Amino acid sequence: MTNIAHETISLAVNGERREADVEPRQLLVYFLREQLGLTGTNVGCDTSSCGACTVLLDGESVKSCTVLAVQADGGEVTTIEGLASGDELHPVQQAFHEQHGLQCGYCTPGFVLATVSLLEENPSPSEEEIRRALEGNLCRCTGYHNIVRAVEAAARAGA
């Protein structure tokens, strides 16, 4: 293992203040998964194509495989673990449940967070806007039909 100087970063993850020493090359997704144990953020590809690793950084969706942990220094990160309030699912999570917007579940955290970000920007998107907004998230199970229904339902619920 090569010796690489570590940098100290300070950020809020799901509302909790975290300080950590990270290698400058450490990707945010592996920082979350391996250093913080937040394994809800999945890794689906090596090329920023699939969006399984989507998290919110300062309220906007980012692919955490394309962000270095040091870039999140001083920021606020929300992962899938930080979305529900206790027993109560976030309205977007609830909508995915009710509309059967997930099957194997692997892409789901990314889709849910991408949806939260989309509805923040556009509270009542059309079907075409939803499909275009979620172009960066891939799902192999659902054929997207019920994911689109879930986003529409979440929008109606005022998520």
Task: For the CB of residue 154, give the shortest distance to another protein in the complex, in Å.
Answer: 12
Q: Amino acid identity, residue 122?
A: N
CA distance 19 to 121: 30
What whole-number distance in Å separates Cα of residue 4 and Cα of residue 115? 37
Q: Does 115 bind another protein (CB under 8 A)?
A: no
| Main-chain phi, psi angles of 32, to 5 degrees | -65, -45
Q: Which element (helix H / strand E) includes 56?
A: strand 54-57
Query: Counting contacts by CB under 8 A, is residue 117 touching another protein?
Result: no
Q: Tell me if 127 contacts another protein by CB under 8 A.
A: yes
Q: Which helix (H) or strand (E) holds 145?
A: helix 145-156
By CB under 8 A, is residue 50 in contact with another protein? Answer: yes
Q: 17 and 10 in contact (C-beta within 8 Å)? A: yes
Residue 153 touching another protein (CB under 8 A):
no
Selected binder of another protein within 107, 118, 154, 159 (CB under 8 A):
107
Site for another protein in 9-28 (CB under 8 A): none
Residue 100 makes contact with another protein by CB under 8 A: yes
Give φ, ψ of 67 to 5 degrees. Answer: -120, 135
Judged by CB, which is closer to another protein: 10, or 119?
119
Give contact residues for another protein (rule: CB under 8 A): 1-2, 33, 38-47, 49-50, 52, 79-81, 83-84, 89, 93, 96-98, 100, 102-109, 112, 127, 130-132, 134-148
